[in-house]
């Protein structure tokens, strides 16, 4: 396994039109990481640059501190698992898994031992003698993954949307197997996806990408509770973060009819960006109740969405419209009065689209 670094990486497929820009990322040895973002955000381009399939227009790629920017994929020993399973359909599962080892010149008991180890990890022991063309899509993807990890000299495993073609029930099972695989092998894994659930349940470290930039890297909890950019707050979560324009006043930060108190130091920090201030709070952190409570403002429920494990109330009040997540057994409906507050500890303040630490 290896420590991976991208230093000042940018790439333009067409001169002047950058697919990724100014990427500085580090993946420590043995990390389970994800690149998360919408289609076109640059995730796959980053993966190709790591693997060596693409040389960046600018910047460097390092493995364990060694510059490998000009090295081929074979020299980097990086395995890649693609969106569609890559298997030799006329070969048995055993021979598919053994192929990378035999290609290295390994033979006999060493190959059998390693193939059975990988098959046991991935639940393929019962189909080792079956031809790959007789497998379902989920089994074929496990074979494809097994071919990626069967070699012991692999620096990292790169997974590019590996569950896209898998049906929903199998997705859950295969994602658990991927997580268990990482736990057992300690391999450095980077998982590319547009699906936040896949990324947040697989990875310990997630990088959110948007329009070719790495917007934020952190744990799933960091991304959820402290999104560094309004885009992260919107993209992570279901539903995403409520976001409001804010005005700086002498007595605090004003969001519609809501006032968030600020001390003199806080007002001074925000003053240079007073024309570009925003406040975000996640629906689950809005304090919304059917009865009045201290410090609460009055609102009305415009609509209620049922999600299966919670209710999402669409609320109007204090010159704002926003979403609040309520318990699934909450007895509320459209037209009901509601009292609400934005707990300051749960609020994120943004100045020129960058989160301001320590406020309000």
Task: Tell me: pLDDT of 29 over 80.
Answer: yes
pLDDT in tens, 288-319: 999 999 999 999 999 999 987 899 999 999 99
Residue 206's DSSP bridge partners are: 34, 218
Higher pLDDT, 248 or 155: 248
Using CA atoms, how far apart are residues 231 and 154, in angstroms rounded to an integer? 35
Task: Tell me: pLDDT of 180 over 90.
Answer: no
Mean pLDDT of the chain: 94
pLDDT of residue 121: 85
Look up residue 71 and give its two tokens: 């090295």
Residue (of 156, 161, 163) closest to 68 by Cα position: 156
pLDDT in tens, 108-143: 999 999 999 999 988 899 999 999 999 998 899 989
pLDDT of residue 196: 94
pLDDT of residue 134: 95
Using DSSP, state whether 145 is helix, strand or coil.
Answer: helix
Q: What is the dihedral of CA 91, 95, 100, 101, to 10 degrees?
A: -160
Residues 6+ apart with CB under 8 A from 85: 137, 140, 141, 143, 144, 165
């Amino acid at each position: 396994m290896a420590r991976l670094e991208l230093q000042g990486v940018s790439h333009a497929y067409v001169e002047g039109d950058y697919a990724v820009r100014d990427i500085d990322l580090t993946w420590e040895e043995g990390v389970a990481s994800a690149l998360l973002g919408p289609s076109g955000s640059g995730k796959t381009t980053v993966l190709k640059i790591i693997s060596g399939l693409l040389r960046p227009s600018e910047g460097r790629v390092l493995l364990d501190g060694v510059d490998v920017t000009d090295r081929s994929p074979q020299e980097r020993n990086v395995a890649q698992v693609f969106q569609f399973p890559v298997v030799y359909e006329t070969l048995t599962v055993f021979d598919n898994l053994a192929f990378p080892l035999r290609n290295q010149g390994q033979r006999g008991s060493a190959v059998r031992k390693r193939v059975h180890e990988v098959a046991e990890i991935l639940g393929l022991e019962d189909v080792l003698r079956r031809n790959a063309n007789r497998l379902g899509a989920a089994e074929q993807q496990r074979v494809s993954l097994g071919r990626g990890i069967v070699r012991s000299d692999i620096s990292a495993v790169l997974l590019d949307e590996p569950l896209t073609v898998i049906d929903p029930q199998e997705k859950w099972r295969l994602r658990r197997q991927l997580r268990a695989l990482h736990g057992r092998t300690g391999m450095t894994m980077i998982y590319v996806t547009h699906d936040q659930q896949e990324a947040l349940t697989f990875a310990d470290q997630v990088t959110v990408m948007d329009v070719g930039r790495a917007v934020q890297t952190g744990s799933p909890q960091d991304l959820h509770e402290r999104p560094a950019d309004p885009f992260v707050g919107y993209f992570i979560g279901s539903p995403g973060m409520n976001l409001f324009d804010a005005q700086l006043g002498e007595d605090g930060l004003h969001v519609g009819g809501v006032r968030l108190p600020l001390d003199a130091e806080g007002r001074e920090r925000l003053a240079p960006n007073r024309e570009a201030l925003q406040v975000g709070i996640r629906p689950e952190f809005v304090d919304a109740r059917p009865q009045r409570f201290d410090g609460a403002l009055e609102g009305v429920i415009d609509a209620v969405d049922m999600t299966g494990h919670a209710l999402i109330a669409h609320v109007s009040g204090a010159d704002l419209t926003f979403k609040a997540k309520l318990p699934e057994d909450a007895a509320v409906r459209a037209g009901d009065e509601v009292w609400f507050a934005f707990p300051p500890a749960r609020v994120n303040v943004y100045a020129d689209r960058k989160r301001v630490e320590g406020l309000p």
